[in-house]
Amino acid sequence: MEIRYRRTDYVANRFKSLLPQIQDAIETRFIDAAATLQSDTPQDTGKAAGAWDINTRLKGKDIELTIVNDAKTETGQPYGLLALEGRAPGKFPPYGDTSHLARWAKVRGIPPFLVARKIAREGTERFKDGPHHFSQDGQPVEDGAISTAIKLVKQDIQRIKEKS
């Protein structure tokens, strides 16, 4: 899973001398957002929670920010967003002997099929109760960590412009 935020032409063209300050503001806000995502990700094994990473860089006239969670399931599917947001009801999650779900269920003495069936019928508690930072298609939601960081970056940029 990868999220990109790019603040371009307006900032770069009108306030080129302020780009380092603006980049610092972006880094600070999104490091806070990544920390929120990390703390809100369930930490059964810590694999998904510990996989959040942030990178900002100047790329031409753009300031590009990337937030990545590279945790994968045993089938190679992205796991970070699933762990953070939960799974919607609908179809069975993988529950074979080598799956994360099977390992989780066995530690708790529950047959993996029963856990998978309940998830297929009802979704996970995480999906039902939140907190939610992203929609099911991976876009930031209104009050999530990323949307909040973007709002704060815009405020920071405005303050930097006013000071110059």
4: left (phi over 0), alpha (psi -120 to 50) or beta: beta
The domains of the chain are located at: 2-84+139-163
pLDDT at residue number 77: 66
Is pLDDT of 29 > 60? Answer: yes
Whether pTM exceeds 0.95: no
Strand-pairing partners, residue 55, are 66
Evaluate the omega torsion of the peptide bond into residue 112 and state whether it is cis, within 30 degrees of 0: no
Least confident of 9-13, 36-40, 105-109: 9-13
